[in-house]
């Protein structure tokens, strides 16, 4: 167990059973693996067997291993969402600098996006990279971010390998979490204002079109999204809600703090790590996450 040394306490919860293929949600253990932060976000699991996550107000990215937690990056420019690509490079949505960056394994940082049609982005929030290198991210504006934005819309964007930044869609509410289906042919985006999940079809060239609402009436503003190998959606809201690929609610997991974002992790990719306000939690599940990198 990677986080044995970090576990601060275990909370066992009993949930009403609902079928999730072979998964039994009747009894789950929630482990608090780290705490004492200001506002945790952007968890991502590295193939090198560690977890990264952001503490947005503290302006840091943290690294958690079996040995403990360590500051991975100071002065993170308000890092929020993070992800890796197939080459192990880190992609980060920097909400304060209003840009998307890529960090190679030597620590060199490259700016991938900071303006659209000559105007600064609002505040990039969450990001996903496909196995073949297509980048998708959301650009809402929360709180004071809305007072200084130059664009008059909230957007979902795409950067093709060796291609320019393009706009996928302008959304009526603020887009937040983003994820791809296991086969990469669907793109899912949370809308925090509408409490919904939108889905787009992704073609062989990585272009996302045909946006439509898949899930409505989510219990609280949805934030982070991940998919598992079966195509189910794991969505952070007032809890962690699990939806089938066709948008039906399967089950939910309640946490001691409000979940904000989620990732699959551990060597077998069969744990969920949940950033929840001031803490990070881990739950072992009986399904593997969808590996996008």
Q: What is the pLDDT of residues 187-216, one digit of tens each?
A: 999 999 999 999 999 999 999 999 999 999
Q: Give me the pLDDT at residue 26, please.
A: 62
Q: Is the pLDDT higher at 198 or at 18?
A: 198
Q: How far is CA 148 from CA 5, 112, 235, 236, in A?
A: 43, 21, 29, 28
Greater model confidence, 25 or 171: 171
Show the tokens assigned to 268.
């077998």
In this prediction, residue 23 carries a pLDDT of 55
Phi, psi for 18 (deg, rounded to 5): -140, 140
Cross-strand bridge partners of residue 169? 156
* pLDDT confidence band for 25 (50 / 70 / 90): low
Is pLDDT larger for residue 15 or for residue 49? 49
Residue 292 has what pLDDT? 66
Q: Reply yes or no on whether the pLDDT at 243 is more than 50.
A: yes
pLDDT higher at 237 or 23: 237
Burial of 255-289, coded b for 16+ CB within 10 Å and e otherwise, reads: bebbbbbbbbbbeebbbbbbbbbebbbbbebebbb
Q: What is the mean pLDDT of residues 3-32?
A: 54
CB-CB contact of 249 with 213 (8 Å): no
Residue 240, pLDDT score: 97
Q: Which two tokens stand for residue 62?
A: 């943290």
The whole-number pLDDT of residue 147 equals: 83
Residue 263 pLDDT > 50, yes or no? yes
φ, ψ for residue 144, nearest 5 deg:
-65, -20
**pLDDT value, residue 1:** 41
Tokens 């293929």, residue located? 21
- DSSP conformation class of 74: S
pLDDT, the chain, mean:
91
Neighbouring C-alpha atoms within 13 Å toward the C-beta of 143: 4
* 8 Å CB contact between 48 and 19: no
Find the mean pLDDT for residues 245-268: 96
Query: For residue 20, how many other CB atoms are within 10 A of its CB?
Result: 18
With CA atoms as reference, report the closest residue to 236 among 41, 19, 37: 41
pLDDT at 24 over 90: no
Q: What is the mean pLDDT of residues 30-50?
A: 96
**Range 170-189 average pLDDT:** 97
The pLDDT score that the predictor gives to residue 173 is 95
**What are 222-239's pLDDT values in tens digits?**
999 999 999 999 999 999
Tell me the average pLDDT across 128-140: 97
- For 46-67, give the DSSP string: ETTTEEEEEETTTTEEEEEETT
Position 146 confidence tier, pLDDT thresholds 50, 70, 90? confident
Query: What whole-number distance in Å separates Cα of residue 49 and Cα of residue 225?
Result: 21
In order of 130, 146, 181, the CA distances from 187 in angstroms are 10, 25, 6
CATH of 66-252, one of 3.40.50.2300, 3.40.50.300, 3.40.190.10, 2.120.10.30: 2.120.10.30
């Amino acid at each position: 167990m990677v986080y044995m040394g970090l576990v601060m306490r275990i909370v066992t919860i009993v949930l009403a059973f609902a079928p999730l293929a072979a998964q039994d949600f009747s009894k789950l253990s929630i482990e608090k693996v780290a705490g004492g932060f200001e506002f945790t976000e952007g968890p991502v699991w590295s193939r090198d067997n560690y977890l990264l996550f952001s503490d947005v107000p503290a302006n840091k990215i943290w690294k958690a291993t079996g040995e403990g937690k360590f500051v991975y990056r100071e002065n993170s420019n308000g890092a929020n969402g993070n992800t890796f690509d197939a080459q192990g490079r880190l992609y980060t949505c920097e909400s304060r600098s209003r840009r998307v960056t890529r960090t190679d394994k030597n620590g060199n940082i490259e700016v991938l996006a900071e303006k659209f049609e000559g105007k600064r982005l609002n505040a990039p929030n969450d990001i996903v990279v496909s196995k073949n290198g297509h980048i998708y991210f959301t650009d809402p504006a929360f709180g004071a971010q809305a007072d200084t934005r130059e664009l008059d819309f909230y957007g979902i964007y795409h950067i093709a390998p060796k291609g320019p930044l393009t706009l996928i869609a302008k959304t009526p509410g603020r887009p937040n979490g983003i994820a791809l289906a296991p086969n990469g042919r669907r793109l899912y985006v949370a809308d925090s204002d509408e409490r919904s999940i939108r889905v787009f079809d992704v073609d062989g060239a990585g272009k996302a079109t045909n946006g439509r609402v898949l899930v409505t009436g989510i219990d609280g503003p949805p934030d982070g999204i991940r998919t598992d190998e079966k195509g189910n959606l794991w969505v952070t809201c007032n809890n962690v809600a699990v939806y089938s690929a066709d948008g039906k609610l399967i089950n939910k997991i309640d946490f001691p703090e409000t979940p904000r974002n989620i990732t699959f992790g551990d060597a077998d990719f069969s744990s969920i790590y949940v950033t929840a306000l001031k803490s990070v939690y881990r739950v072992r599940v009986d399904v593997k996450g969808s590996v996008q990198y």
